Structure 1
Amino acid sequence: MILLLTCLLLAAACASTGHAQEKQLSAKEAKALYEKADRALNEAWAAAKQKLPEAEFNKLKDDQRAWVEYRDYLARSPMFTGVGGQDDLPLDAPEYLQAAAGLEDERTEWLKGLIHEWKDENLTGKWSDSRGGSVEVVEKDGHLYFSISVVRGPTSHGGDISGVAMWNSPIGWYSDKGLDKEKTDETNLSFIWRDRKLEITGANTSYYHGARAYFDGSYVKVKALSAKEQAEIIQGPKPTK
């Protein structure tokens, strides 16, 4: 029992330190990593500016400004980076540069997905909100088979939920009513497909995630799913009636 408790405490500590478990780079290595990630992000941004209609790109600029604040909020956090102390990290700190590079890689993938011309027009694929949330979706026979996983905030609170939503394009609806006899409160998720994004909004979802985690977000398809990956998602929970 003591050994089990020790293992659980160690696992919790590792999960709460965000990027602290990554190999710490030298100042030179961290700067090079960040500059590479920043170049890729700027290239993706320039491509989005060329590809998107002016009105859509203007909305994206507001979202990008908010994302930059999100990046610095996390990457400067001692708790997120695993650095001792309580003060925000300076922008030239190796820990900041390393964490910011990882966050920029995620945003670059999101921007590329936003303007990518997918061969199929359905929603099947892996989606990201570039803020720690991802969802795998298979659209089939009027349903969305989905699996959502999120890690949010400097304390890396996580959450997961899988299920099958009713789908009547561009709107989907999920309910877990009756799936767990011990759970009395109903959880709902809405899925709305518009402006190249899958907008997910949840109601009463705290049963499935940590205190500061959430499933809500504007997700963009960033990757196709293999036949094996699709089969694994479909073999999950059955559609609700």
Structure 2
Amino acid sequence: MRNAISFFTLLMLTVCLSTASAQDKPLDAKAAKAVFDKADRALNAAWSAAKQALPEEEFNKLKEDQRAWVEYRDYLARSPMYTGADAQGELALDSPEYLEAAAGLEDMRTEWLKGLIHEWKDETLTGEWTDSYGGSIEVVEREGHLHFIIQCVRGPTSHVGGLAGIAAWNPSIGWFSDKGRDKEKTDETNLSFILRDKKLEIIGANTGYYHGARAYFDGSYVKVKALDAKAQAKIVKAAKSGDLPEE
């Protein structure tokens, strides 16, 4: 796989997905419950804010998406493979491993919900975006192009993917092709970018060259962070070269 993700990048992405996997020692039951309760309160507050800010029709669609996300959270956080727990079968909902992993996933969802209703001063797409399902993309919009680095860690076995490139951008639709970038690669890879209701929808074709078997770039991404000049320069450099930065 070209543009293999560095160990450092993989580590950082995995930490974002599972706080449990980042701990030398798992939290005890009391501490894990406290971590989960804090994350849950933040998620509920972000959910309430979204309910107040969004039109009823849009919020009703969000409720459907939230139900799907809760299933995703429990699927991962109850997996011994994902949490590193020494157990057979699904973890109990009150187990420390589940609570700690679920808290980390809820932190990502809280960030996504806040981004969904945040009013950004910068009207371009420049920023860091997440889909709250393990995918992130850093974008610099300049002169009709999107310079981007997209990366993901998917599923309980942490299948990873990463791709840097430049997409043509004609608001609110963008298109990326890697045609001619690697002479040994026969199938053209494409990414489409569609901006709709503050969400950047990404759909890929023939992307397997850049990620593991169960990883994917497709998702509904929300802007969650601005990018300073240094970060933008790093992204533009990577996008032009097609190589992911080492850190």
Number of matched pairs: 228
- 1:209 is matched with 211
What secondary structure is seen at the aligned counterpart in 1 of 2:239?
Answer: coil
Residues in 2 aligned to 1:229 and 1:25: alpha-carbon distance in whole angstroms: 34
TM-score normalised to structure 1 length = 0.91
- 1:39 is matched with 41
Contact 1:78-1:85 within 8 A present in 2 as well: yes
What secondary structure is seen at the aligned counterpart in 1 of 2:234?
Answer: helix
Contact 2:154-2:215 within 8 A present in 1 as well: yes
Q: What 5-or-longer segments of structure 1 have no aligned partner?
A: 1-7
- 1:22 is matched with 23
- 2:80 is matched with 78
Residues in 2 aligned to 1:70 and 1:48: alpha-carbon distance in whole angstroms: 20
- 2:100 is matched with 98
Residues in 2 aligned to 1:160 and 1:45: alpha-carbon distance in whole angstroms: 30
Indicate the larger mover: 84-93 or 47-56.
84-93
Using CA pairs below 8 Å that are at least 6 residues apart, which structure has the higher relative contact order?
2
- Post-superposition offset of 1:238: 3.1
Contact 1:20-1:83 within 8 A present in 2 as well: no
**Aligned residues with identical type, % of pairs:** 71
**Deviation by residue 1:150-191 (Cα, 9 ceiling, x = unmatched):** 000000000000100000000000000000111111000000
Residues in 2 aligned to 1:74 and 1:239: alpha-carbon distance in whole angstroms: 35
What secondary structure is seen at the aligned counterpart in 2 of 1:181?
Answer: coil
Which one has a bigger Cα radius of gyration?
1
RMSD: 2.0
Contact 1:172-1:190 within 8 A present in 2 as well: yes
Q: What 5-or-longer segments of structure 2 have no aligned partner?
A: 1-6, 243-247
Contact 1:44-1:112 within 8 A present in 2 as well: yes
- 1:218 is matched with 220
- Post-superposition offset of 1:120: 1.3
Structure 1 runs (4+) greater than 4 angstroms displaced: none
**Deviation by residue 1:65-100 (Cα, 9 ceiling, x = unmatched):** 000000000000010001123310000000000000
1:139 lines up with 2:151 in the alignment: no
TM-score normalised to structure 2 length = 0.89
Contact 1:172-1:191 within 8 A present in 2 as well: yes
Contact 1:163-1:237 within 8 A present in 2 as well: yes
Residues in 2 aligned to 1:239 and 1:26: alpha-carbon distance in whole angstroms: 46
1:173 lines up with 2:170 in the alignment: no
Contact 2:149-2:239 within 8 A present in 1 as well: no
Pairing of 1:182-201 with structure 2 (within 5 A): 182-201=184-203
Contact 1:165-1:239 within 8 A present in 2 as well: no
